[in-house]
Amino acid sequence: MSTIDVTKRTSAGPRREIGKGSRRLWLLRSPEGVLGAVLLGLVLLIALAGPLVAPHPITETIGLPGAPPSAAAPLGTDFLGRDVLSRLLHGGLPVVWLSVATISLTYLIGVSVGMIAGLSRSFVDPILMRSVDLVLVFPPLLLLLLLLYGAGDGTGVLIIGIVLVLFPGVARLVRTATLEVSTTGYIEAAIARGETRLAIMRREVLPNIATSVLADFGVRFSAAVILAASISFLGFGSQPPAANWGLMISENRPILPTNPWGVLAPAILLALMTIGVNLLADGYVKTRTRQR
């Protein structure tokens, strides 16, 4: 994903606002956005509606372990003889919920820390950023595993761990973007008017760094999904007999020669979700860039 320059305004030439009609039609103007919306919509439909149409309970044994696809089991059976299709339809909601919760907290913390550091012009900036750099020293997966071993492998701990791994990158990106706009005329004018730092961040800084943040969003979301799936693959997070796409990939490895769909189906859906989010973010950023 290419890096998008931060759009700047000057007091003499503020950025051109996008009309309401343009905001509503941005998706139709971008092939990437349309394709991303279709892919992401398909995955969300499967995750949200899947449990309602699953033909079997996730714990019901319907055949021999690792049986290939048949009329009774369109995607075959898993390593315990359970219906892969039913578990696939049930396994998306935990992944989607975990990804959304994680990425929301990541950007809430990362954007806040980055803007505060970029606008502080005091000792607050080095203190915040050296703390962020300290977290970046540790390899992401190692830091996450240490936290899970020490505090348990509950969902809350997993969310905190992934946020801890991802937010430093967001904070550094936002700080750099904030520093670029912090010396412009409209920021100086807002400070001279006596506006609070919170108002300046919300009204002046955030709209002008939004494109850079959105350009980074797809990459961070993909990282959150991959980390969550990797943790499930390693046996943390969701535990059997729960249905989870990452867990399905791990537990069905022994039946790959007889029924590869036990691994391929959840892996494909995870890939489609990350690709869809990346394309959607790219489409929005490109449309905004052309309209400015």
The SS3 assignment for 14 reads coil
Amino acid sitting at position 260: P
Average confidence score pLDDT of the chain: 82
**Predicted model pTM:** 0.80
Please determine, for residue 14, whether its predicted confidence score (pLDDT) is greater than 70.
no
Answer yes or no: are the C-beta atoms of 213 and 228 closer than 8 Å.
Answer: no
Q: How far, in Å, CA of 106 to CA of 98, rounded? A: 12
Amino acid sitting at position 6: V
Could you tell me the pLDDT band of residue 57, with boundaries at 50, 70 and 90?
very high
Q: Which two tokens stand for residue 289?
A: 């860039």
Query: What are the b/e assignments for 90-101, b being 16+ CB within 10 Å?
Result: bbbbbbbebbeb
Residue scoring higher pLDDT (107 or 152): 107
Query: What are the b/e assignments for 55-65, b being 16+ CB within 10 Å?
Result: ebebeeebeeb
Q: What's the confidence (pLDDT) of residue 218?
A: 83
Q: How far, in Å, CA of 35 to CA of 244, rounded? A: 25
Answer yes or no: are the C-beta atoms of 128 and 113 closer than 8 Å.
Answer: yes
Q: Which two tokens stand for residue 245?
A: 């796409």
Q: How far, in Å, CA of 55 to CA of 264, rounded? A: 20
Answer yes or no: are the C-beta atoms of 113 and 213 closer than 8 Å.
Answer: no
Q: How far, in Å, CA of 130 to CA of 118, rounded? A: 13
Beta-strand (E) ranges in the chain?
A: none
In the CATH hierarchy, which fold is given to the domain comprising 92-242?
MetI-like fold (1.10.3720)
Largest CA distance in the chain: 74
The residues spanned by each domain of the chain are: 47-91+243-270, 92-242
Could you tell me the pLDDT band of residue 290, with boundaries at 50, 70 and 90?
low
pLDDT tens-digit readout, 187-238: 778 777 777 778 888 888 888 888 888 888 888 888 888 888 777 777 777 7
274-to-95, 111, 239, 250 alpha-carbon distances in Å: 12, 21, 23, 19
